[in-house]
Amino acid sequence: MNSQAERGSGERPRIDVPRTSAAGFVALAIVSWIYIVSGDSGLWELFTVETWKEAGDFLRRLVGLETDGTSAFLDAASWKKALRLSVETLAMSVLAAGIAGAAALLTFLPGARNVGFGQSGGARSRVGVAAFFVTRGAFAFTRSVPELVWALLIVFVLSPGVLAAALALAIHNYGILGKLSAEVVENLDPRPARALRAAGAGWGQTLLYALLPQVLPQFITYLLYRWEVIIRTTVVVGFVAAGGLGREFRLNMSFLHYDDVGLLLLCYLFLVVGVDLASAGLRRLAR
Amino acid sequence: MASSNDSAPAIRASEVGKVYGRKEALSRVSFTIHEGETVAVVGPSGAGKTTLLHLLAGIIRPDSGDINLGGRALAGLTPGGELSRLVGVIHQQLDLVPQLSVLQNVLAGRLGRWGLARSALSLAWPHERETAEKALDRVGLADKLYERTSRLSGGEQQRVAIARLLLQDPQVILADEPVAALDPARAADLMGLLAEIAGHSGKTLVSSLHSIDLVRKHFSRLIGLRNGGQLFDLPSADVTGDMMDRLYDLRGIEGVETFQGRDYG
Ligand SMILES: Nc1ncnc2c1ncn2[C@@H]1O[C@H](COP(=O)(O)OP(=O)(O)OP(=O)(O)O)[C@@H](O)[C@H]1O
Ligand SMILES: [Mg+2]
């Protein structure tokens, strides 16, 4: 009884976390709205007749209903160009995924803690531990810098174009793929490898017969997922690295050729859907 | 009842002990097993059966005592090719590579004899395929050659493990509860197969298992482990139900008194 009373009196008033945060949230929302409504935020422009008229104009130009001269959607030359750029963009994405995949495949092994620290066969060596930190560091650095920033850096060195754009995409995705596959190795079931070593297999043979067969299907799945993301990102990277649909997109925007922009967007849409379907099909095969 | 075998024993363990942290998994275990003998290791969960078999296979090293295989000190044998011809292991859990085909899992038994280049090539163009086919035929899986191993049932996978062992062709077969995951009929079937394969080629078989019926049927000798200690070492015909009851008794895990086992060798 005594101890209970003591605890009761000694207890600090507890904060009701959900209720306090809900109140805080409401207060913040009210203050934000007061700021937007009273200030010069351009909110009211959303509700003016001109804005809606302009948006409607823009949309009609985008789908080619209102152009100076023939619409890009009816022009064979425009189509040809758009298709060529689509193929170029597809090539860019495949190149990027290929470079990232090949580089990750060559370096993910030392990035796995159990390999570097010698827990899966092999002795723990200073070289292995150092290689672990170096590769993991490389994975972290390359993936923490966004593709767009890599593109900006690369066009200082390489001339802008498909290769520069592909390289920017590849470097960022290398870090992601490398980390993911190293983690697959860390989570592998150690028993098949242990059984192989007991049957007399050396380190290289264990790698070939136990590690790679277990890792590769997962790796291919990750690579295909990244390919889907890469094709989506090609447009933005193409803006700065001047390659594929992205470059043309930006040019036509600045020349106010909205019907061309619309055509490019359409091609881009088909490209993304096509890659998604191809990736899903290939992933099913890899399983 | 001294054995007439005067060549070096297949396995000689003397005062072998293994400690995990503060836990004595195995303490002062000694026995001699001759070529061609079939020995069952029995004992409740945690008795040290897996520890003992892994010590004999050279997968883990003892903290005290010595193990000799075919007259040679296990500590002096290099893992890989040489050791893999002396002992082969079938594990308690299924330790095949699930993504590989049955054929490749069986051929993996040859890795101790193959170089790296041959092993790599064999993944694309299987080397010694006929040998693997024969082994699979022997265990009754001739039609599953190209099946992905993960699609096989537990019993079939243990058969693949046996086929792999046939290709490894060691002098001593160590099997750690090879039938634990199977139903009684399949367990009896598989144990019979293992005993037959060992008997047919005169190999030494040491296996842990829990079924006293299977022990009586297929093994000539019984080593009882309890709490890391050797409770008895007797011909399986001499082991009484009372001894088995005491071995598996839940009470008195501490202070184990030992039966006086007959000296083999
Ligand atoms: N790697 C390890 N680390 C720590 N303790 C271990 C390890 N391996 C085994 N042990 C302990 O050693 C003792 C013997 O284990 P072992 O696996 O040999 O038993 P077992 O007779 O094979 O049991 P089961 O019938 O359950 O397979 C157990 O108490 C276990 O907890
Ligand atoms: Mg065990």
Q: Does the beta carbon of A205 lie under 8 angstroms from any beta carbon of chain B?
A: yes
Q: Where are the beta strands (DSSP E) in chain A?
A: none
Contact B167, B110 (CB under 8 A): yes
What percent of chain A is predicted at pLDDT more than 70?
92
| C-beta atoms of A196 and B108 within 8 A | yes
Question: In total, how many domains does chain B have?
Answer: 2
DSSP 3-state of A111 = coil
Best of B69, B78, B89, B97 to disrupt the A interface (most A CBs within 10 Å) is: B97
pLDDT band for A214, please (50, 70, 90 cuts): very high
Compute the distance between CA of residue B233 and CA of residue B252 in angstroms, rounded to an integer.
Answer: 20
Cα torsion angle, B101, B142, B85, B18, sign: positive
Q: Are residues B158 and B229 in the same domain?
A: no
Q: How confident is the model at residue B39 (pLDDT cuts 50, 70, 90)?
A: very high
Amino acid at B180: A
Distance between CA atoms of B55 and B69, rounded to whole angstroms? Answer: 11
Determine the 3-state secondary structure of B21 from DSSP: coil
Is B163 an 8 Å CB contact of chain A? no
Closest atom of ligand 1 to B18 CA is: 12
What's the pLDDT score for residue A182? Answer: 94
Residue B146 sits in the same domain as residue B213: no
User: Which one is predicted more confidently, B258 or B119?
Assistant: B119
The sign one gets for the Cα dihedral A83, A85, A90, A94 is: positive
pLDDT band, residue B6 (cuts 50/70/90) = low
Q: Is the pLDDT of residue A13 over 70?
A: no
CA dist., res. A95 & res. A234, Å (int) = 11
Could you tell me which residues come within 8 angstroms of residue B144 by beta carbon, excluding any fewer than 6 positions away?
B102, B136, B152, B156, B160
| Shortest-distance atom of ligand 1 to CA B225 | 21
Nearest CA to ligand 1 atom 24: B45
Strand pairing partners for B17? B64
**Cβ B50 under 6 angstroms from ligand 1:** yes
In this predicted structure, what is the pLDDT of residue B92?
72
Indicate whether B58 and B87 sit together in one domain.
no
Checking if the pLDDT of A16 tops 90, the result is no
Which homologous superfamily does the CATH classification assign to the domain defined by A72-286?
A: MetI-like (1.10.3720.10)
Question: Smallest Cα–Cα separation from B209: which of B250, B243, B237, B178?
Answer: B178
Here the tokens at position A265 are 């967007």
Please indicate, yes or no, whether residues B53 and B104 belong to a single structural domain of this protein. Answer: no
Q: Is the pLDDT of residue B254 over 70?
A: no
Coil, helix or strand for A261?
helix
Q: Phi and psi at residue A218, in whole multiples of 5°?
A: -65, -40
Name the residue of chain A whose CA is nearest to B107's CA: A209
Q: What is the CA radius of gyration of chain A?
A: 28
Judged by CB atoms closer than 8 Å, whether chains meet at B116 and A205 is answered as yes
Tell me how far apart the terminal alpha carbons of chain A are, to the nearest angstrom: 64
pLDDT of residue A119: 60
Mind listing the pLDDT tens digit for each residue in A130-171?
Answer: 899 999 999 999 999 999 999 999 998 988 889 999 999 999
User: Are A170 and A95 a contacting pair, CB within 8 Å?
Assistant: yes
The answer to whether residue B31 scores a pLDDT higher than 90 is yes
Q: What one-character DSSP code corresponds to residue B148?
A: B
- Distance from the CA of B222 to the center of ligand 2, in angstroms? 17
* Residues of chain A neighbouring B116 (CB-CB closer than 8 A): 202, 204-205, 208
- Residue B115: which domain range? 79-170
Q: Is B47 in the pocket of ligand 1 (CB under 6 A)?
A: yes
Provide the shortest C-alpha distance from residue A188 to chain B (in Å): 11
Q: pLDDT class for A12, splitting at 50, 70, 90?
A: low
List the residue whose alpha carbon is closest to atom 5 of ligand 1: B20
**pLDDT the model gives residue B80:** 74
Q: What are the tens digits of pLDDT across the range B16-26? A: 999 998 889 99
pLDDT tens track for A251-283: 888 888 888 888 999 999 999 999 999 999 999
Lowest mean pLDDT among A71-80, A96-105, B254-263: B254-263
CATH number, position B51: 3.40.50.300
CA dist., res. A174 & res. A172, Å (int): 5
pLDDT at residue B179, as a whole number = 87
Continuous segment of H or E residues that includes residue B230: strand B229-235
Q: What is the pLDDT of residue A235?
A: 87
Mean of pLDDT values over B226-248: 86
- Rounded to the nearest integer, the mean pLDDT of chain A is 87
The answer to the question of residue B2 being in a domain is: yes
Is residue B188 in some structural domain?
no
One domain for residues B163 and B103: yes
Q: Do B164 and A205 touch (CB under 8 A)?
A: no
- Cβ atoms B142, B159 nearer than 8 A: no
Cα–Cα distance for residue pair B119/A256, rounded to 1 Å: 62
- The answer to ipTM > 0.85 is no
A113 vs A177 pLDDT, higher one? A177
A86's CB contacts (< 8 A; 6+ apart) are A245, A267, A268, A270, A271
- Asked if the model's pLDDT at residue B164 lies above 90, the reply is yes
Q: What integer pLDDT is reported at residue B251 of this predicted model?
A: 65
Q: Please check whether residue B79 touches A, CB under 8 A.
A: yes
CB interface of A with B, residues 177-196, below 8 Å: 191-192, 194-196
CA distances (Å), origin B155, targets B139, B162, B181, B213: 11, 11, 8, 19
Q: What is the distance, to the nearest Å, from the Cα of residue A282 to the centroid of all Cα atoms in its chain?
A: 19
**What is the model's pLDDT at position A115?**
78
pLDDT at B261: 43
Q: What is the pLDDT of residue B49?
A: 93
Please tell me the distance from the alpha carbon of residue A179 to that of residue A135, in angstroms, as a whole number.
9
- B113/A200 Cβ within 8 A: yes
Q: How many angstroms separate the CA of residue B223 from the nearest CA in chain A? A: 24
Q: Do B88 and A192 touch (CB under 8 A)?
A: no
Please check the confidence at residue A122 and state whether its pLDDT lies above 60.
no
C-beta separation of B56 from B30 below 8 A: no
Tokens matching residue A229: 């993301």
B60 within domain boundaries: yes
Using CB atoms, pick whichever of B84, B95, B120 lies closest to residue A191: B95
* Residue in A closest to B166 by C-alpha: A199
Instruction: List Cβ neighbours of A119 (8 Å cut-off, separation of 6 or more).
Output: A113
Which 3 state secondary structure label does DSSP give B90? strand
Alpha-carbon distances, residue A272 vs A77, A80, B60, B156 (angstroms): 23, 19, 53, 44
Domain coordinates in residue numbering, chain A: 72-286
Our answer on whether the CB atom of B45 is closer than 6 Å to any ligand 1 atom is: yes
| A142: its two tokens | 């390359």
- Asked if the model's pLDDT at residue B94 lies above 50, the reply is yes
Contact A192, B96 (CB under 8 A): yes
Between CA A73 and CA A260 the distance in angstroms is 8
Report pLDDT for A3.
47
Same structural domain for residues B90 and B166? yes
B197-222 per-residue burial string, b: 16 or more CB within 10 A, e: under 16: bbeeeebbbbbbbbbbebbeebbebb
pLDDT at B258: 47
Residues of B in contact with A209 (CB under 8 A): 97, 100, 104, 108, 111, 119, 123
Say if residue A8's pLDDT is above 60: no
Q: Do A199 and B91 touch (CB under 8 A)?
A: no
Test B111 with A192 for CB contact under 8 angstroms: no
Residue whose tokens read 């995951």:
B181
Residue B191 lies in a domain: no
Tell me the pLDDT band of B252, cut-offs 50, 70 and 90.
low
> Tokens 């070529």 label which residue?
B35
Ligand 1: does its nearest atom lie under 6 Å from the Cβ of B26? no
pLDDT at A108 over 50: yes
More confident residue, B118 or B154: B118
Statement: residue B193 has pLDDT above 50: yes
User: Which has the higher per-residue pLDDT, B172 or B6?
Assistant: B172
Provide, as residue numbers in chain B, all residues whose Cβ is less than 8 Å from the Cβ of A197: 79
Residues of B within 8 A of A216 (CB-CB) are 99
